[in-house]
Structure 1
Amino acid sequence: MTTEQAEPLWTALEGLPRPTLKELFTDTSRLANYATDLDLPGGPIRFDWSKTHLSAEVEAQLAAIAAAMDFAGRRHALIDGEKINNTEGRAAEHTAERGIGKDSSVEQAAEFHARMQMLVDAIHEGALGDVKSLIHIGIGGSALGPALAIDALTRNGAKVAVHVVSNIDGCALEAAMKACDPATTMIALASKTFTTTETITNAFSALDWLREGGVSDPYGRVIALTAAPDKAVEWGVDETRILPFSETVGGRYSLWSSIGFPVAIALGWQGFAEFLDGAAAIDRHFIDAEIGENVVVRAAFADLYYAQVRGCQTRAVFAYDERLALLPSYLQQLEMESNGKRVHADGTPLHRASAPVTWGGVGTDAQHAVFQLLHQGTHLIPVDFLAVKAQGHDLDPAHHEILLSNCFAQGAALMAGKSSEDGARAYPGDRPSATILCDELNPATLGALIAFHEHRTFVSAAMLGINPFDQFGVELGKAIAKQIESGGGEGFDPSTEALLQAAGIGG
């Protein structure tokens, strides 16, 4: 069935009854039906979607749409390594990095991992000298994933201190260099094509810093993480310091490949292996669980329901754990770069809403900044709360008890609301939220959380008939910037030309 033929099913979904959350909870089995505990390698995780407007009727209609759009076939194509990224003519094989996929791709990923493990172990054993710091230079998916994992998992110390730099703004690189000693620092350059302007520019400045710091062979301190090893060799990286990954692994899905090198160097290989295991457990659940019991599919169904039926243009994510502070930023790229499209995979116009805007923050900070709008604003915004049962610090447990109490209270308050004759003090309620509660935050748990969101994003794309694995929308601005840098910045609109002149850029 084509996306156009599926339209009557979407129309039927829009016409279904819309009971309130309180009405839905009159079903005494609701919690049992919509809160699922998965026993995963890093410990149990609860996925509670009971405080959303999903119902058996809504899910049945969404399942009909999934069948019409051949979701099962698309899922098989993803896992089997078919060229599901049709606009670029390649597969999307990030699951192969976790040991799940086409046999040849899984074998190649294992070989690349073995090569990476040898280098990680050699550094930890001192074979490359005294290495205390690593400056990891990348951008987008080459930086957001490593930054999230390192911030989440190394707060109590790391085998090697890692500083992730992505911004072309020299202030970012300068801050990392000030925190390191050139004599004990290595540089990781993460670029799929090894041509990314921001990464290569930062790399040259890092080499200058090493040279000025007395390092006689700066290039000998560089490790390349790339799908284009020949270009890395041409650039000057020693072949033994190049960690390749497959072209079928997209940037925002690449943390599991050699792009995860900084995570492995910080945690040790065992920690990185546990990270992969946690993700693989979610892969297996996503593949094997029936739609009605599949936590990934249920989350995507809720996302689609709110975007397509309730007109929600944004989705908020709040991590009630400081260690997950970077998760909302990571999900912004994952979801908006993947599904922020205006055409179907076949190039025909998309006449439905695509990805909502993903945004969020950290609790309890966000409660005193943006929750006013969530509770009393005119926008309906579905919210995800993420929390961890075990605290990540050695302070008084009262800190964590207050943190979790606030997290659960916000979901309850959004749903219940509160009436008042004073409109300024009235809360409408019936506002949806979902909660993900982990027993512990460890490498396997974080791997599971990230894989859950990867597949959640894929389900939405499959249901809408779009390709989540290309990102041509980022190219136009980059092309114009290169035009300006090369001195061809003419013929723009008057505002742009005035800005260039005011900044002293170009002719």
Structure 2
Amino acid sequence: MSAVTRLPAWQALQQRIDTALNTPIKSLFDDPARCGQYTLKVQNILLDISKQPIDNDTFGLLLQLAAEVDIESRREAMFNGQHINVTEDRAVLHTALRNRSNTPVYVDGEDVMPIIEHELKRMRVFVKAVRSGRWRGYSGKRITDVVNIGIGGSDLGPRMVTQALKPYADDRIRVHFVSNVDGVEIANVLRELNPERVLFVVASKTFTTSETMTNAQTARNWLMASSFDSRAVAKHFVAVSSNVAAVKAFGIKPENTFQMWDWVGGRFSLWSAIGLPIALYLGFKQFEELLQGAHEMDLHFRHEPLNSNAPVWLALTTLWNSTFLGRQSQAILPYDWPLARFSAYLQQAEMESNGKSVDSHGQPVPYGTGSIIWGQLGIDGQHAFYQYLHQGNAVVPADFIGSIESSTPVQGHHEKLMANFFAQTEALMCGIDADHVRTELAAKGLDEARIEQLIPHKVHEGNRPTNSLILDRLDPRTLGALIALYEHKIFVLGSIWDICSFDQWGVELGKTLAKGILPELEEGVLREGHDDSTASLMTYFIEQRRALKARE
């Protein structure tokens, strides 16, 4: 038995599963204090977990469990730079990147805040030079387009934030993103651009990531085809990497290389120079507002008691649904168009962090960890998969995210959007029973036989859990707080499950195998060691490629 499953609170929570599954959530609102008791306002974000299958006794036990695994000490260990990434023996300090108070943060006895501030100053100078037109391309023309070349956290974070904060951008710089090694993506991006006016940001900690370097080399060749001069690379490429030698060999000057550190994981890195496209697009002041919002959430998470701590609340709702009630799928449903890529961003952040099956000591865990994170913009999702949410056999907890005020107001639109937000959370919890369906259909004049036939199809059982997050307005500071809220939720869950949330060895295996397979595809000769299925598929691919080339 795992150590966490032996804790008193865990044992007591196991005894409450049947109660939760057999108690309608809407019946919990017989307590008139429930709404206020299960609502928190942090910065510009209201968090309401009242539509969860959690009564007062269960919530008390969940908080007790968080205390019993000593979340407070684990939290301090992270903020203080201890090596909580145990499998890679590293600190985890994305919080230091946005430490706007500039208080010392030590890693192995060294205060890292001076190097962080130094890098931020370099970013500020560079961003101002590009946006003002002082930094120019090889032909003397100003930069109008930035292409970020990266993958995973080097892509998802900047891509999500630039879309979310588009209303705060001016027309000085357009941003584009290339992540997939499929050549269609980079071809489509480059087709519309003028090589004399493009700046490429190549984001790779090692500067050896296969997908990123393949795309970077294609971009370099494209530029060279226009400039006919390798020196043009220095005017059109900058790097975010820790491998200065490889960057220099590519043709990028060391002074145009921005630093990454091993105590920042890719999926938590948008606060670093990985966020350079964000700053180039929005201006550095807006980027600092993003950092400030995240820092304020850090302070809340670090200092607020567990019973009034928003990331803890968010984590405990997921823990209860996934680990105890067996609901391991979770939908993220923004009712705010700029957050269209937020669910994809959280998909990596949470699934890459907590998709683990062994604990921090390498022992198999006997309980479910992680959640299948997915989602889409709310209104679009209503016409796609909400049928499954309302009447499917599987219960899918969902986070609904909306705003009081649109970042781009258009008369008559936002009220309709939020009407759907409120209606969906109410419908998911309350459903509609047979009596209501019968009354509704009778009022439409249907005969009794037809009514009885339709009732099973129109009944909604309800009792589907949701969280509601309502932002005052989606601006840079609020977005920073929202992202940090979910980051800390991931940390809390990993701490309770006693897993390492900051490695990603599962990602590495497929990449390693791909490196070995690539020469086989290029040479058209299979080596031994593949399973029969893979060997058969590779053989088919090679033979069909040969046939296509023979017909050309």
TM range (shorter): over 0.9
1:384 to 385, 399, 412: 399
- Residues 428 and 465 in structure 2, CA contact (< 8 A), matched pair in contact too: yes
Q: CA deviation at 1:108?
A: 2.0
Aligned to 2:187: 174
SS of the counterpart of 1:364? helix
Q: Please identify, of 400-409 and 222-231, the stretch whose mean Cα deviation from structure 2 is larger.
A: 222-231
- Residues 276 and 447 in structure 1, CA contact (< 8 A), matched pair in contact too: yes
Q: Please identify, of 300-309 and 11-20, the stretch whose mean Cα deviation from structure 2 is larger.
A: 11-20
SS of the counterpart of 2:112? helix
State how far apart, in whole Å, the 1-side matches of 2:95 and 2:4 are: 30
**1:461-493, CA deviations, whole angstroms, 9 ceiling, x for partnerless residues?**
000000100000011111111111133653312
- Counterpart amino acid of 1:190? A
2:273 to 253, 258, 262: 258
- Residues 158 and 267 in structure 1, CA contact (< 8 A), matched pair in contact too: no
Q: Please identify, of 228-237 and 478-487, the stretch whose mean Cα deviation from structure 2 is larger.
A: 228-237
- Residues 4 and 496 in structure 2, CA contact (< 8 A), matched pair in contact too: no
2:143 to 122, 131, 137: 131
State how far apart, in whole Å, the 2-side matches of 1:80 and 1:299 are: 23
Q: CA deviation at 1:247?
A: 1.4
Aligned residues: 502
- Residues 157 and 345 in structure 2, CA contact (< 8 A), matched pair in contact too: yes
454 and 208 in structure 1: CA distance in 2 versus 1, 3 angstrom threshold? same
SS of the counterpart of 1:346? coil
Q: CA deviation at 1:363?
A: 1.6
State how far apart, in whole Å, the 2-side matches of 1:218 and 1:297 are: 50
SS of the counterpart of 1:504? helix
Aligned to 1:83: 83
- Residues 3 and 69 in structure 1, CA contact (< 8 A), matched pair in contact too: no
- Output aligned runs, 1:130-169, within 5 Å: 130-155=142-167, 157-169=170-182
State how far apart, in whole Å, the 1-side matches of 2:408 and 2:64 are: 46
1:208 to 214, 221, 224: 221
- Counterpart amino acid of 1:48? D
Aligned to 2:49: 49
- Output aligned runs, 1:228-307, within 5 Å: 228-307=243-322
398 and 187 in structure 1: CA distance in 2 versus 1, 3 angstrom threshold? same
- Output aligned runs, 1:213-228, within 5 Å: 213-214=226-227, 216=229, 217-220=231-234, 221-228=236-243
- Counterpart amino acid of 1:485? L
- Residues 81 and 92 in structure 1, CA contact (< 8 A), matched pair in contact too: yes
**1:126-148, CA deviations, whole angstroms, 9 ceiling, x for partnerless residues?**
22110100110000000000000
- Counterpart amino acid of 1:178? R
- Residues 407 and 475 in structure 2, CA contact (< 8 A), matched pair in contact too: no
2:501 to 430, 449, 468: 468
Q: CA deviation at 1:112?
A: 1.1
Matched, 1:191 2:208: no
Q: CA deviation at 1:273?
A: 0.3
SS of the counterpart of 1:213? helix
State how far apart, in whole Å, the 2-side matches of 1:470 and 1:387 are: 32
SS of the counterpart of 1:54? coil
SS of the counterpart of 2:227? coil
Matched, 1:413 2:427: yes
**1:213-262, CA deviations, whole angstroms, 9 ceiling, x for partnerless residues?**
23633321111011333332233310111010221110000000000000
SS of the counterpart of 1:430? coil
**1:277-332, CA deviations, whole angstroms, 9 ceiling, x for partnerless residues?**
00001000101111111111001000000011211020011111111000000000
Unaligned 5+ runs, structure 1: none
- Residues 334 and 378 in structure 2, CA contact (< 8 A), matched pair in contact too: yes
345 and 215 in structure 1: CA distance in 2 versus 1, 3 angstrom threshold? farther
State how far apart, in whole Å, the 2-side matches of 1:81 and 1:6 are: 29
SS of the counterpart of 2:30? coil
Aligned to 2:540: 502
**1:407-439, CA deviations, whole angstroms, 9 ceiling, x for partnerless residues?**
110000001110125110000011110111111
State how far apart, in whole Å, the 2-side matches of 1:452 and 1:274 are: 16
Aligned to 1:485: 518
Matched, 1:458 2:491: yes
State how far apart, in whole Å, the 2-side matches of 1:60 and 1:180 are: 57
- Superposition TM-score, scaled by structure 2 size: 0.88
**1:100-144, CA deviations, whole angstroms, 9 ceiling, x for partnerless residues?**
761512222111111111111111222211010011000000000
- Counterpart amino acid of 1:36? L
State how far apart, in whole Å, the 2-side matches of 1:13 and 1:61 are: 7
- Residues 201 and 240 in structure 2, CA contact (< 8 A), matched pair in contact too: yes
State how far apart, in whole Å, the 1-side matches of 2:148 and 2:158 are: 9
Aligned to 2:445: none
Aligned to 2:439: none
State how far apart, in whole Å, the 2-side matches of 1:317 and 1:482 are: 34
Unaligned 5+ runs, structure 2: 137-141, 435-451, 521-525, 547-552
Q: CA deviation at 1:387?
A: 0.8
Q: CA deviation at 1:56?
A: 2.4
- Output aligned runs, 1:20-35, within 5 Å: 20-35=24-39
State how far apart, in whole Å, the 1-side matches of 2:74 and 2:261 are: 21
State how far apart, in whole Å, the 1-side matches of 2:463 and 2:320 are: 15
Aligned to 1:399: 413
Q: CA deviation at 1:61?
A: 1.4
Q: CA deviation at 1:201?
A: 0.4
Q: CA deviation at 1:445?
A: 1.1
SS of the counterpart of 1:389? strand
Matched, 1:446 2:479: yes
- Residues 2 and 366 in structure 2, CA contact (< 8 A), matched pair in contact too: no
Sequence identity, in percent?
Answer: 37
Q: CA deviation at 1:5?
A: 5.8
State how far apart, in whole Å, the 2-side matches of 1:55 and 1:106 are: 43
Aligned to 2:128: 121
SS of the counterpart of 1:439? strand
Q: CA deviation at 1:394?
A: 4.8
2:372 to 347, 354, 357: 357
Matched, 1:102 2:86: no
RMSD: 1.8
- Residues 117 and 269 in structure 1, CA contact (< 8 A), matched pair in contact too: yes
- Residues 132 and 160 in structure 1, CA contact (< 8 A), matched pair in contact too: yes
Q: CA deviation at 1:55?
A: 2.7
State how far apart, in whole Å, the 2-side matches of 1:189 and 1:301 are: 38
- Residues 182 and 215 in structure 1, CA contact (< 8 A), matched pair in contact too: no
- Superposition TM-score, scaled by structure 1 size: 0.95
